[in-house]
Structures are given as structure tokens and as C-alpha cells.
Structure 1
Amino acid sequence: MKQFLSAFFLFIFSANLVAQDFFRENFDTGKTYILLANPTVRNLETVTFLIDNNLLNVNKRKTRFVGIYHEQQAYDFEASRRYVETRGLNRFYLHEIRGKLDTTKLYLENGYTAEMRNLFENSTGIFFFGGPDIPPAVYGEKNTRSVVTDPARHYFEITLLFHLLGSYRNNHFEPFLHKNPDYFVSGFCLGMQTMNVATGGTLIQDIPAEIYGAETPEATVQNGKMNMHRNYWQKISTDSLLMTINFHPIRFTEHPFFGESVKVAKTKKPLIYSSHHQAAEKIGKGLEVTAVSNDGKIVEALTHTTYPHVFAVQFHPEVPALYENQQQKKFHPDDTPQTYHELIGRQNVKFHKKYWRYISKTLKKAAR
């Protein structure tokens, strides 16, 4: 009986550690909390890898991570709760936003404003991760080439970023960061696109078709490897070793972000991990372009003109396979298989590590 009671109370204690109501309960206000939007198992694995390998360098004694999401999202976050619990990730928690998403009030104070303000006031920053296409209606366009699979996620993340940063779509709204300009906001791929849309920007719905006039994968590959932002050979060939992504160079604009903040030579054109078919078009309120594709046609990075710790990239510096040898893949059917770590090369890994050092430094400043 004693063993049963011990196991029961241990189960209850463990369940409380990963309860999906974190900011509704009594939490330790002496800790530093970083929010993770869309805390899927994969994203939790990624953040854990970055911390364990000292890429994301935070105060492990004091820093905690809280995954936030909306209950209507197309993902079973119970899997995330089980992952946190079974792996004993005692620095990770979950918080579920509940209620009906009103798409007519994404750029207004709405039923989530008070809860989002509570998240903001009790955290030092937030990461937004990659994912599927945003519904074009939220940036005032018809759906011509977007594949929308998780609208609730986009509605939640867009209204959250609107509340944080403001938008051309509501110039009268005072963004949360007005009260705390040092708050950290960053994103990767979809995360950057969401930041742009939330602040009043728009998107190119399909890069090959709208930028290069290529309507098929066969036409897209004729544009050359450097003009592909994901791998279209895998849509043509049945070779099981073909990667879905591409490595291509970016170049920095005249903006000082990469040169002065990240400390990368302006003349460098680092290879990056690219996996997208959409991109920022009209740029949102308060944002400036800091990097573009090699041909200058695609926005690869943004930063904020007012809030120093707000920036995002179109590429994926967070992918663990960049930093260690994992599966071997190839871009073209005739290529020799290599790991992503080998393909990107030592000098380009250094660029990504510098980017993470800057993120870590910025998070520490935001936490002061």
C-alpha cells in the first residue's frame, strides 16, 4: 500500500510539472521564462539539443521554457506533455490557450489580449518555429498557391505577434513591447513570415511560379540550384536519398545587423539550410531587411527598427543535423550522399554558431 501511494503521489507530482496551464497556476516568479510557440515534440527536441550542445547558452539554473499553443491547433500536444514527462525535462512546461479564435479581430484587442499580456509580462522572450503556409486572407489576398493545413496555429501566432509588435493594420494599437522594448522575439522560416504578416506585410505565395515563372518542378530545376529554396528534384526523381531541402548562399544588405551585431564579415555569403516555397513580399511595420538570397529576389532576414532584440531569418539555423553528422542525403540524383554537416561545411557552421551566440547574448540582455 505504501509503495502504491508513493507511486501515486509521484505520478501526480510529475503530471503537475508538465500541466498545460502553467501561467494559470502558482509558478516560481524568480525564474526566467522563455516562450516556445508551437511546442511540438520535434521543436522540444530541437531546443533540448541546442541547450545540451551549448548553442543556445542560457542560465540553466534559472531559465525555464514554456511551450504555448492554441487548443484548436492541428497537433496533439498531449504528445508533447508525454515527451516532457517521460524524458524528465524539468526545465520545460506547457500552457494551452483556450477559446474560439475570432479571425475578424486578429489585429484588435480581443478575447486573448489579457492572457497574452500575462504571457508577455511573465517571460523574457519567445521563439517562433517553421511550419505550413499562412492563410492568405489574413494578409488581404486570395489563396492562389498556398496550402493551408493548420489555420488555428496561424491565427493564434499572428494575433500574438500583432500584440507584441504592432502592425500597419492597426496603427492605433500600442504594442506590448512599447512597455518593455528589450523583450526578445525571434523566428525561423514560417516564424519570420508570421512576424512579417502580423506587422502588416504580405507574402509571395509561391517563389518558383511568382518570381521565376516556373509552374512545374521540371521548370523549377532549370533555374539552377542557387535559385531553389527547397529541393524540387525530389518531386521528379524516385531516389529515396534525395533531401527535401537545399543549401544555398545568402548575402547581407547594407543594414549593420549581421556585420556589427552578429560579427560576420559583410562580404561573406554563408550557405544556409533552406526549406520553403513562400517568402516575405511587402515588409511589415518597423521591419528592415538584413539579408537576401544570392540573386537578391528573396528576403532572408529581418530585424526591427525600434526594438533591438526582435529579429528573424527565413532559413533554419536551429536544425541539429547542421552541427553533427547524421543521415546521408543528396541534392541531385547523381550526387554522392553526404550528411548535412558535411554539405554545409566548417566555415558555414561557424556562421550559424555565431548567430546562436548572438541569440544567447541577446536573451541574457533581455532577461536583465
Structure 2
Amino acid sequence: MKPVIGITTYLSDTMYSTVSRNYTDSIYAAGGIPVTIPILDQKTSYEEYIELVDGIVFTGGNDIAPYYYGENPVKELHSQSSIRDDYELSLFQSAYDQKMPILGICRGIQLINVALKGTLYQDIHSQIPGTLGHYPKQTASDELYHSVQIKKDTKLYEIFGEERIFTNSFHHQSVKDLGTNLVATAYSEDGIVEAVESTEDQFLLGVQWHPECMTKRHPMFLALFRQFIQESLVFKQKGVSV
């Protein structure tokens, strides 16, 4: 019995609701059944997906509109989609309330933080002095780029078994003020939050890098998805799904 994993999608300029196959490949390789969740502007539709899945991956993509955390935009802000923001925030809240396993990747960690009343640095390079590189251009998505320090006694440390790993990096925003019941569990060398976890009894984990892009070339990152799949299987077996 495999858990069904919902994967959120990106709304492109041409109105395609799509996602990189790296997400679906990684979920499948880790033992889950990947199902993509299209972006719908009818808010009630997310409940039907919550009934279908046993865990959810919130994927990368657009910047989250800063008015969701009480700020005006800085000039370095990139693309936004209020349709995606509204839908995913509602989807997250429903999954979170049911204690469904949740994995956030890049934008996904930021969405988790904003959904739980946290804030973001809209552009780390202009807002944080001394920031190192976090968004290399013309670099393959499976290239290791910078180091990440992982705190002991965390789920992330249990998964990797290392206090220091190297990851890829493709972001210009990051977590600023932590949301409710969240703790930062990993940082880059310049102090940028690279991972968060829930302080409650729930598998809720967000990472700022893109592990789904590295599972084939760097199999160590598949461990993150395997743990998520295992948590989703436990959730499925408990029959918690509505």
C-alpha cells in the first residue's frame, strides 16, 4: 500500500498549471504515488484534493505577494500570482489542521512560514548585508552550490545524519520572522534560514533548496523524500484522511 502524494503546480504565463517532473520522479522513487494538484480559483475545490492525498509537497515558483504578511513590495520582487497564493494557503491550512504530512520546497518553505503568520525577506541580497550567493545563473539544477549547517536533535539531522551538507540553491527570498510553532533547523554560512520544522507532533518540514533536482545525481537527497513518504504512509494507515 503506497501513499498518494499531492504536488502543487506552477501557473505559467500561458495559463498552464504545471510542475517539473523532478518532483514526481523523486516521489515515485521514494515509494509514493505522485498526483499533481492544479491551481483552481474556486477555493472550495482544495477540500477534494485533501480527501484524495496522504501528504502534500508545496513546490517552488513565484514570489509570495508581500501583502499576505503585511508589507509593500520592494523593487526586486519577482513574479507573483495571487490565484496561486490564495489557493495554496487554503490548501495548506486544511492539510495542516488535519496534521497531514507536509513538505515545502523553496517557495514551499516560504509559503509554510507565511501561512503560519511569519514574514519573509523579499530580496535577501538587498535586505541582508553580507549575503553570499544563493541564485547562481547558468548553473545546472543538480549542482551542489553552498553549505548548509543542520542543527542536531531535529528531523532534518535524523534524515541526513550530518551537521553540514552541500545543496543547490535557486532563491532570492527567505524566511525572516518565524511563523507560529515553527523552528529554524538549518542555516547557510551567511545566516539565511535553510530549513524549518514544526514544534508540534506533526511532520511539517520546509527546505530552501531543491532536493528533488538532486535525487538522481546525489542519492542522499532521496532520504528526505523517503522519510516524507514513510510519514505519509503512517498517516494513511491511521485513516486520518477525511
Q: TM-score, normalised by structure 2?
A: 0.83
Of 127, 146, 150, which aligns to 1:248?
146
What does the per-residue CA deviation read over 1:163-215, in whole Å, with 9 as the maximum and x for residues that have no partner? 333xxxxxxxxxx32xxx3x2111100011011111101100111111126xx
**Per-residue CA shift, 1:86-135, capped at 9, x if unaligned?**
xxxxxxxxxxx343xxxxxxxxxxxx35x433432332111111002111
User: Partners of 1:42 and 1:118 in 2: how far apart?
Assistant: 20
SS, match of residue 283 in structure 1: coil
**In the alignment, which of 39, 42, 49 is matched to residue 25 of structure 2?**
49
RMSD: 2.5
Equivalent pair of 1:197/1:284 in contact (CA under 8 Å): yes
Distance 1:51 1:192, change over 3 A: closer
Q: 1:284 aligns with which of 176, 179, 189?
A: 179
Change (3 A) 1:317 1:256: same
| Shift in CA distance, 47/263, structure 1 to aligned 2, threshold 3 Å | closer
In the aligned structure 2, how far is the partner of 1:156 from the partner of 1:200? Answer: 16
Q: Distance in 2 between matches of 1:66 and 1:228?
A: 33
Amino acid at match of 1:135: A
- Partners in 1 of 2:134 and 2:233 — Cα distance? 32
Superposed structure 1 runs of 4+ greater than 6 Å apart: none
Task: Kindly report which structure 2 residues correspond to 1:218-233, keeping only aligned pairs within 5 A, or say none.
Answer: 227-231=132-136
TM-aligned CA distance change 1:126 to 1:135, over 3 Å: same
Q: Which has the higher contact order (CA 8 A, sep 6+)?
A: 2
Unpaired runs of at least 5, structure 1: 1-29, 71-96, 100-111, 166-175, 214-222, 235-241, 325-348
Q: 1:286 to 1:51 in 2, by over 3 A?
A: closer
Which residues in structure 2 correspond to 1:186-225 (within 5 Å)?
Answer: 186-212=103-129
- Paired positions, count: 228
CA contact (8 A) 2:150 2:164 kept: yes
Aligned residues of 2:101 and 2:228 also touching (Cα < 8 A): no
Does structure 1 residue 127 correspond to structure 2 residue 53?
A: no
Q: Which amino acid aligns with 1:158?
A: L
- C-alpha displacement of 1:294: 1.8
Q: CA deviation at 1:46?
A: 1.9
- 1:309 maps to 203
- The 2-side partners of 1:163 and 1:41 are apart by 22
Deviation (angstroms), 1:32: 4.8
1:130 is paired with a residue of what secondary structure?
coil
Q: Aligned pair in 2 of structure 1 residues 356, 160: CA closer, same or farther (>3 Å)?
A: closer
Q: Per-residue CA shift, 1:207-249, capped at 9, x if unaligned?
A: 1111126xxxxxxxxx6xxx21112xx4xxxxxxx32767100
**Equivalent residue of 2:63, what SS?**
coil
